[in-house]
């Protein structure tokens, strides 16, 4: 039995990406949300994902941010533990397998492609390709 949204956490409801309030203006928070949104979109949206897939996506997004920070250190010439980088990559691979493969977009029929072209032509005459 599902509880009323007001009885569930904001994280569960999708109202915010973290359990505790985090300023969404930090570079890391924006990157985390970007990766999480992309992973969910590739799999048909958060609603189409299981709890396990959503948690794997969250873990993957967090690891992605950590790896990006390490890459920035490499680019800046700062020392980085290559073993730690490898472990993060391995853990990202594990989370990717838990999420499952992205869904392929539905293939359009010939008639659907013609309709898209027709709508574009009507919207901007002379610019259709």
Q: Quick one: pLDDT at residue 1? A: 53
- Residue ranges covered by each domain of the chain: 5-123
Q: What is the pLDDT of residues 64-108, one digit of tens each?
A: 999 999 999 999 999 999 999 999 999 999 999 999 999 877 777
pLDDT, the chain, mean: 87
Checking if the pLDDT of 128 tops 60, the result is no
Give the pLDDT mean for 48-64.
96
Extended beta strands in 42-128, E state? none
Token pair in block for residue 69: 């920070």
Give the pLDDT mean for 1-10.
68
Q: Quick one: pLDDT at residue 127? A: 57
Extended beta strands in 1-129, E state? none
Spell out the residues 6+ positions from residue 69 whose beta carbon is closer than 8 angstroms to its own: 28
CA torsion angle 69 45 112 129 (round to 10)? -20
Query: How many Cα neighbours within 13 Å face the side chain of 62?
Result: 10
pTM: 0.72
Rounded CA separation 84/71 (Å)? 12
Token pair in block for residue 23: 């300023």
Q: Quick one: pLDDT at residue 37? A: 94
Q: What is the pLDDT of residues 107-126, one digit of tens each?
A: 778 888 888 888 888 876 66
């Amino acid at each position: 039995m599902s509880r009323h949204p007001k009885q569930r956490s904001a994280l569960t409801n999708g109202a915010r990406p973290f359990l505790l309030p985090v300023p969404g203006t930090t570079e890391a928070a924006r990157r985390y949300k970007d990766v999480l949104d992309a992973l969910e979109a590739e799999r048909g949206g958060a609603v189409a994902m299981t709890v396990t897939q959503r948690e794997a996506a969250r873990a993957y997004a967090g690891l992605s941010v950590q790896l990006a920070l390490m890459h920035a250190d490499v680019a800046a010439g700062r020392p980085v533990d290559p073993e730690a980088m490898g472990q993060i990559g391995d853990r990202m691979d594990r989370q990717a397998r838990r999420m499952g493969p992205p869904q392929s977009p539905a293939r359009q029929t010939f008639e659907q492609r013609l309709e898209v072209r027709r709508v574009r032509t009507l919207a901007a005459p002379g610019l259709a390709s």
